Amino acid sequence: MAVRAVRGAVQLDRDEAGHMGERVEALLTAVLERNGLTADDLISIWFTATPDLHSDFPAAAARELGIVDVPLICAQELDVAGAMPRVVRILAHIESDTPRADIHHVYLGAAAALRKDIAQ
């Protein structure tokens, strides 16, 4: 079994804990479904949030989904002038026999503009 990495991002409409939870849950669910994964396939997830998001920890959404025994960490994204606002990004490390080229990275809604080269 190989270790792979899956990227993803979602832009929030507003900085509210409930909204963040909904959008991050949608992102995580899409990453799992599009890659045929379960929580048992997860090794760890790194979350970043743009500096304008501070209502909650994005990792809290993973816990709400039942991802409770996977190491999670949150960090602040770089504050780059002109960058897309209100974005949560993930980098999930997984165990999978899927070839690297066949991993489906997930960029939801407006966040698809961040990585047009790999967004599904």
Catalytic one of 4, 23, 77, 86: 77
Catalytic one of 16, 33, 63, 95: 63
Is there a catalytic annotation at residue 74?
yes
Is there a catalytic annotation at residue 95?
no
Is there a catalytic annotation at residue 4?
no
HEC-encoded secondary structure of the chain: CEEEEEEEEEECCCCCHHHHHHHHHHHHHHHHHHCCCCHHHEEEEEEEECCCCCCCCCHHHHHHCCCCCCCEEEEECCCCCCCCCCEEEEEEEEEECCCHHHCCCEEEHHHHHHHCCCCC
Is there a catalytic annotation at residue 14?
no
Is there a catalytic annotation at residue 86?
no
Is there a catalytic annotation at residue 7?
yes
Is there a catalytic annotation at residue 16?
no
Catalytic one of 4, 7, 14, 23: 7
Catalytic one of 16, 74, 95, 100: 74
What residues are annotated to the active site? 7, 63, 74, 77, 89, 107, 115
